Amino acid sequence: MMDQWVLAILGSASVFLCLIGLLLVPVYGNTEGDALNALRTNLADPNNVLQSWDPTLVNPCTWFHVTCNSENSVTRVDLGNANLSGQLVPQLGQLQNLQYLELYSNNISGRIPYELGNLTNLVSLDLYLNKLTGPIPDTLGKLQRLRFLRLNNNSLSGGIPMSLTTVTSLQVLDLSNNHLTGPVPVNGSFSFFTPISFANNQLDVPPASPPPPISPTPPSPGVSNSATGAIAGGVAAGAALLFAVPAILLAWWRRRKPQDHFFDVPAEEDPEVHLGQLKRFSLRELQVATDNFSNKNILGRGGFGKVYKGRLADGSLVAVKRLKEERTQGGELQFQTEVEMISMAVHRNLLRLWGFCMTATERLLVYPYMANGSVASRLRERPESDEPLGWPIRKCIALGSARGLAYLHDHCDPKIIHRDVKAANILLDEEYEAVVGDFGLAKLMDYKDTHVTTAVRGTIGHIAPEYLSTGKSSEKTDVFGYGVMLLELITGQRAFDLARLANDDDVMLLDWVKGLLKDEKYETLVDADLQGNYNEEEVKQLIQVALLCTQSSPMERPKMSEVVRMLEGDGLAERWEEWQKEEMFRQDFTHAHHPHTDWIIADSTYNLRPDELSGPR
Amino acid sequence: MGIWSNLFVLLLIFPFCTPDPNDEMCLTHLSQSLQDPLKNLQNWTKSSFAKPCDGFTSYLQGATCNNGRIYKLSLSNLSLKGTISPYLSNCTNLQALDLSSNSISGPIPLELQFLVNLAVLNLSANQLSGPIPEQLAICAYLNVIDLHDNKLNGLIPQQLGLLVRLSVFDVSNNRLSGPIPASLGNRSGNLPRFNASSFDGNKDLYGYPLPPKKNNGLSVLAIVGIGLGSGFLSLVLSFTAVCIWLRVTEQKLDAEEGKISQLMPDY
């Protein structure tokens, strides 16, 4: 009983196992075999190429024209040129590992099963040269590994599925010789396919080729050339601007200070040279003091150059005489000597030279600043606000300037002849004390050339006749100038005007003055600015001195030291008496001769232009 | 006679078996112009040229057939030398030509323009010289023009930009010069664009996507020279002008000074 039970159990178990084995193992093979068998049954096979296809076998891997992989799954079906006919079956979609489905050159008809879209491993689908009809299944777009799709030479109809353009692996596509209609896709993978792939259909041939190009327009190099030109031009303009700016700046600078073109040679401070109390200034110092020789600091312009007002670093006011460039070419040593000489003249009534500056191109003299200007300016260019010079001051001026000149003539070694004594050169300090300026320069400026320029200009009327005619100067030349200056001081008029007045009246100046003296018509003679506040006797004396000083013969003029004494009240009366006697005698004599030749010469110069006086001496 | 008529019938029945005379000429001349020192081209013989294809089956190494015609020629990396025969244009159904990574020299034949079905042209990594034929633009289906690593010179034809299907364009590492046509460097619309790597390695090539021209023809030295020269000239001119102007103003000033000095007192 037990054995039977055991046997029964064993038997049923074995049967069960066998059943399980039958169920499990051949399922794979059977499905693919069944699918291929279904194809076989649907095809007519006149050449018996499918003879080996035995559906009872475990799998189709031993069948001819079928290739499997190592897992006994079908990868290839090669049935090209097999003279098969009939139709394809949907079961083909179950061959999941199928890579090659080659059914070309047969007589297969019917439709392409859409289930072929399930063959996702398919690499090649060759159904060309058959009698297939119907559309190309849209599902073929799912075959993302497909490289060869050849459906040419069938009777396929409908459109080309757009899904095919997504199959980027597609290398060869041939849909020619069918009855396809509609548009040919050009995008995606179809970009690579040319009309060869679509020939002999009823397709809308796409305007495949872009408009034939070739109108050879070589890239115009002109653009780049013009760009180059522009760059070069720009650079040139920029550089030009860059270079021109300094020039323009320089011009502007010089326009602002048109006279100030000097070269700043560092002041050659020479410790070896001690010039007594004379100070040697650096150019920089004087530039700072005069605000770079600013025009608004000009005090005056003389024959030797412009005079600038300046303030030194220590606060003291100075007048800086800037000698004219063309007249400063002399040797430095000579200049120094002259300057030294001038500086030796130290007197209450002389404008003291404080210092000088000398560079290669610049010669400057530094004087103390005279607050009250010159006698000429006080007489004639006095602003309304200023008091006119009173008679006592005028007397002081006469005496002071006489002392100054006397000092120049008698106490200087070598003696200094001023050569240009006039009211404009007599300056007034804070106490209205007369200070003779501009002396020594004539000689100083004279060493180089032979031109008398503006030194004579503006001084017409002051020039002694013998100086004008012979060019020889002496102390007596200064005495003449002093005399004229006295007349200026008394009358307040210009020496030139005085002379003209005399000329117009056709009476000699001296005669005219003498006549007035005789008649005691001082009001016509004396400066109206005095408003009658003067001592007639003193005026008379001063006029007498002036007339003595302006005698045409230098020999007869008194010396400056004598003039000083006369002004101090010593010897004027005697001198005057003597002069009047001689005058009487001379007047008798003149009627026969021409005693005033010198004056005629002087007169003749009135009509000359100043320039003509600038001729060589 | 019977045999001939049979043959004729055979030809009618199997049209794909007919050897194409054009392909034969194409292959014959190509094999003559190319040199194959390592004998890599197996069965490239006269008989195979006569019948390279049987339908879609190719009897020739490197060739792909379609309907009995050569569809693709892929002879990449075979140490080939020599030149490309202009008769290649007789392979009128050629869709892809790949001769890359060889040592082929000489020019790119102008006759390639007759390969109207050409979609892929890969001649990269050879010794090709001369210009890129602008006539390639006639091959309207060109998707790929790969000419990198050659010795090509001259300009890049702007007409190539008209190839709407062009998706790969690589001319890097050549001796090309001039501007990159905007039709290629800066393509409009939905056309595929090419970045700088397509143009790199050409000394005298410039323009987007490469940097713009550096020297614009004139060397820096020349520009600086022009600038300095004209600057100097203008300096001289302006200084002369200033000098003349100063002289004039000085004269004026002197005249004025003359007037003033008569009015002003001497100091």
Specify the range with the lowest mean pLDDT, choosing from A20-29, A339-348, A473-482. Answer: A20-29
Of A150, A211, A381, the CB nearest to B265: A381
Predicted pLDDT of residue A26:
43
Q: Are strands A279-280 and A355-358 parallel, antiparallel or unpaired?
A: parallel
Specify the range with the lowest mean pLDDT, choosing from B66-70, B85-89, B90-94, B263-267. Answer: B263-267
Query: Is residue A321 marked as binding?
Result: yes
User: Is 60 exceeded by the pLDDT of residue A604?
Assistant: no
Q: Is the dihedral of CA A403, A407, A410, A414 positive or negative?
A: negative
Tokens at A48, concatenated? 């018996």
* Separation between Cα atoms, residue B174 and residue B171, nearest integer Å: 7
Across B63-71, average pLDDT: 89
> Which residue is closest to A212 within chain B, CA to CA?
B138
User: Is 90 exceeded by the pLDDT of residue B146?
Assistant: yes
The amino acid sitting at A323 is L
The label of the residue with tokens 């109390």 reads A277
At B1 the three-state DSSP class reads: coil
Higher-confidence position of B189 and B266: B189
pTM of the model: 0.49
Q: Are strands A107-110 and A131-132 parallel, antiparallel or unpaired?
A: parallel
Of A240, A376, A424, the CB nearest to B231: A240
Higher-confidence position of B190 and A541: A541
Q: How confident is the model at residue B157 (pLDDT cuts 50, 70, 90)?
A: very high
- Beta-carbon separation of A300 and B264 below 8 A: yes
Predicted pLDDT of residue A227:
64
Instruction: Return the half-sphere exposure (C-beta side, CA atoms, 13 A cut-off) of residue A535.
Output: 9
User: Is 90 exceeded by the pLDDT of residue B96?
Assistant: yes
Residues in chain B closer than 8 A to A227 (CB atoms): 216
CA distance B126 to chain A (A): 24
Predicted pLDDT of residue A225:
57
Q: How confident is the model at residue B130 (pLDDT cuts 50, 70, 90)?
A: very high
Q: How confident is the model at residue A591 (pLDDT cuts 50, 70, 90)?
A: low
At A460 the three-state DSSP class reads: coil
Predicted-complex ipTM score = 0.73
Q: Confirm if A256 and B248 have CB atoms less than 8 A apart.
A: no
| Highest averaged pLDDT of the listed ranges A202-206, A522-526, B100-104 | B100-104
> Which residue is closest to B212 within chain A, CA to CA?
A224
Of B56, B164, B218, the CB nearest to A150: B56
Size of interface A-B (CB pairs under 8 A): 175
User: Is 80 exceeded by the pLDDT of residue A101?
Assistant: yes
Predicted pLDDT of residue A474:
79
Across A560-568, average pLDDT: 90
Predicted pLDDT of residue B259:
43
Could you tell me the end-to-end alpha-carbon distance of chain B, in angstroms, rounded to an integer?
144
Residue (of A266, A365, A257) closest to A310 by Cα position: A365
Displacement of CA A517 from its chain's centroid (Å):
73
CA distance B178 to chain A (A): 8
Go through A296-308 and write b for each residue having 16 or more CB atoms within 10 A of its CB, e for each that does not. ebbbbbbbbbbbb
Q: How confident is the model at residue A527 (pLDDT cuts 50, 70, 90)?
A: confident
Q: Confirm if A83 and A106 have CB atoms less than 8 A apart.
A: yes
Displacement of CA B129 from its chain's centroid (Å):
10
Q: Other CB atoms closer than 10 Å to residue A574's CB: what's the count?
A: 10
CA dihedral defined by A596, A598, A600, A603, rounded to 10 degrees? -130
Predicted pLDDT of residue A23:
45
Which secondary-structure segment (H or E) carries A41? helix A27-42
* Separation between Cα atoms, residue A407 and residue A345, nearest integer Å: 8
CA dihedral defined by B72, B76, B80, B84, rounded to 10 degrees? 40
Which secondary-structure segment (H or E) carries B130? strand B127-130
- The pLDDT tens digits of the residues spanning A235-248 come to 777 777 777 787 77
Residues in chain A closer than 8 A to B250 (CB atoms): 258
Residues in chain A closer than 8 A to B267 (CB atoms): 299-300, 302, 307, 319, 321, 374, 424, 427, 437-438
Q: Confirm if B175 and B153 have CB atoms less than 8 A apart.
A: yes
CA distance B140 to chain A (A): 5
* Separation between Cα atoms, residue A319 and residue A370, nearest integer Å: 8
Q: Other CB atoms closer than 10 Å to residue A173's CB: what's the count?
A: 26
Residue (of A35, A16, A13) closest to A97 by Cα position: A35
- The pLDDT tens digits of the residues spanning A31-53 come to 888 899 999 999 999 999 898 89
- CA distances to A98, A246, A390, A396 from A527, in Å: 143, 57, 10, 16
| Highest averaged pLDDT of the listed ranges A131-140, A236-245, A486-495, B209-218 | A131-140
At A260 the three-state DSSP class reads: coil
User: Is 70 exceeded by the pLDDT of residue A593?
Assistant: no
